[in-house]
Amino acid sequence: MSEPLVMGIESSCDETGVGIVRGAELLAHALSSSMEQHVRFGGVVPEVASRAHLEAMVPTLEQAYAESGIRVQDVDAIAVTSGPGLTGALLVGVAAAKALALAHDKPLYGVNHLAAHVAVDQLEHGRFGERVAALLVSGGHTELLLVDDIVTGITMLGQTIDDAAGEAFDKVARLLDLPYPGGPHIDRVARDGDPTAIAFPRGLTTGRDMDKHRYDFSFSGLKSAVSRHVQHEHRMGRPVNTADVAASFQDAVCDVLTKKTIAACLEHDVDTLIIGGGVAANARLRHFAQERAAKAGIKVRIPRLGLCTDNGAMVAALGAEVVRRGIAPSSLDLPADSSMPV
């Protein structure tokens, strides 16, 4: 079979995405985000996200047609994120994919959002070797994955036990009176700060915590430490040094993320690390990852930012892998599974 032509639909959080790929070749990458509607709430509101998906789905589909000159009639299969994610948001994409599959008699494939975040890298950097590790860091997830096979062999090595990495950035930005979503603002402000100014805690890195949670992450203690620091400065009548706090906080997050990830790569004999999710944009994370991976002889692959954040192309990329292997399609009663394991 020649490379399969696959459409992918994403709607697990606040991005409505429709992507079209032929094998590992990206043909359409249409996106609509409802982020602006969530800003005043300081976080993604599920009900608002679902309604926005409903409004954006058809225009985004049409945008993908316009970009590629390919319509749903032409594709070999339709892939859709069926989990994990916000239930109401997932349901919009799953319902749209089912309607298209039924109307045009196309096979439907429900795919895992986390696996899709990993698979998308192949659109940019070519097929993976035997075994890779992946660090996924966004507002909704923080996972460290061992990938022996993108379709059948993903193991969760670790994950956050409280806040997601991006969520920690967003909450700390709020403490520093920076706008939502806070990650890019902390990244920018931190450039003028001293990352060693304040010794913030590195969660789950010592003693029993480390033994029990070798590759897990925890950011809520760090967020509380930032909050205590800010309150202390206020009590002392001193202005908060936003740049130093941002730089020290960011350093703590990125230090732990990269240290544990590189240790996992070495333990599992992995020579390639993929980083995905919105936090992959962070300058400090990229710096630590590149520097520490190079020392350990590990290659780092980070897809361009538009492919790191949620999108339909990643769903299409994973769908194409599934189709290529001749795996049976999902049934038309495919459910949305908000806590789908990897």
Minimum CB separation from ligand KG4 for residue 13, in Å? 5
Of residues 131 and 286, the one with the C-beta less far from ligand KG4: 286
Binding-site member from 13, 101, 147, 150 for ligand KG4 (CB under 6 A): 13
Report how far apart, in Å, the C-alpha atoms of 118 and of each of 27, 154, 260, 272, 314 are: 18, 10, 18, 12, 8
**How many C-beta neighbours within 10 Å does residue 215 have?**
20
| Contact yes or no for 323/109 (Cβ under 8 A) | yes
In the region spanning residues 43 to 72, those forming contacts with Zn ion, defined by CB under 5 A, are: none
Q: Write down the least CB distance from residue 138 to ligand KG4, Å.
A: 3
**Residue with the closest Cβ to Zn ion?**
310
| CA distance linking residue 184 with residue 145, whole number of Å | 25
Please identify which residue in 23, 184, 221, 335 interacts with ligand KG4, judged by CB under 6 A: 184
User: Contacts with ligand KG4: how many residues (CB under 6 A)?
Assistant: 19
Q: Which residues in 112-171 contact Zn ion (CB under 5 A)? A: 138
Distance, CA of 245 to CA of 247 (rounded, Å): 6
Q: Which of 260, 238, 252, 242 is nearest to 199 (CA)?
A: 252
Q: Does 128 bind ligand KG4 (CB under 6 A)?
A: no
The order of strands in the sheet holding 299-301 is 153-159, 142-149, 132-137, 272-276, 299-301
Q: Which residues pair with 158 in a beta bridge?
A: 144
The annotation status of 44 as a binding-site residue, yes or no, is no
* 310 lies in the site for Zn ion, by CB under 5 A: yes
Instruction: Find the binding residues for ligand KG4 in span 303-322 (CB under 6 A).
Output: 309-310
Q: Among Zn ion, ligand KG4, none, what does residue 26 contact (CB within 5–8 Å per kind)?
A: none
Containing H/E element for 61? helix 46-68
Which residues line the annotated binding site?
113, 117, 136-140, 170, 183, 187, 282, 310
Q: List residues binding ligand KG4 (CB under 6 A).
A: 13, 138-140, 166, 169-170, 181-184, 187, 277-279, 281-282, 309-310
